[in-house]
Amino acid sequence: MTTMTDTHDRTHEFYEIGEWDWWDTNHGNRLHAATVQYDPKRDVGGDGITACGLTTELWIPGLFSRMDVPRCKHCCNRLGYPQGIGSPKNDKACRPLVKQRLAQTEYQQQQRHTPPIEGESNVDHARHCLRCLSDERRGPVLLR
């Protein structure tokens, strides 16, 4: 059985994998930078929107796609990444850019409060909501 905490942990992992590997569409001809909604039923895919504007079903690419499929030039231009072949994690010029994006996202997440999911206990919520963990005024209230 998947718990709320497991889902939140997997959502973060899913996001991070997507930043390093980018995303594949059903066409399989380009890797895209995208925001993808984690769906536990699909596990390695979900509905999302790419940096170049496609709204579609996206998947974490397979091994050969991560090495051989070109990155979408429009996604690269939009994010300031160099155009090239394969996942950003396999490109020395992209790795620092991915790290920077992840650090920026982590900071933004700390500044934003995530409301509890329906049925989620306050303790489970506080475990994944970084703002609740760091906010001294709210933390003790949520953990009761």
pLDDT computed for residue 95 by the predictor: 95
Q: Is 132 inside a domain boundary?
A: no
Mean pLDDT of 113-130: 60
Range(s) of the domain holding residue 26? 4-91
Number of domains in the chain: 1
Q: Looking at the whole model, is its pTM more than 0.75?
A: no
Residue type, 4: M
Q: Is 134 inside a domain boundary?
A: no
Q: How far apart, in whole angstroms, are the C-alpha atoms of residue 75 and residue 11?
A: 22
Q: Is 143 inside a domain boundary?
A: no
Mean pLDDT of 30-55: 89
Mean pLDDT of 51-56: 91
The string of DSSP codes covering the chain is ---HHHHHHHHHHHHHHHHHH-EE-SS-S-EE-EEE---TTTSSEEEEEETTS-EEEEE---HHHHHHSBBPHHHHHHHTPPP-BS-GGG-TTTHHHHHHHHHHHHHHHHHSPPPPPTT--HHHHHHH-HHHHH-TTTHHHHT-
Q: Is 54 inside a domain boundary?
A: yes
pLDDT over 80 (residue 84):
yes
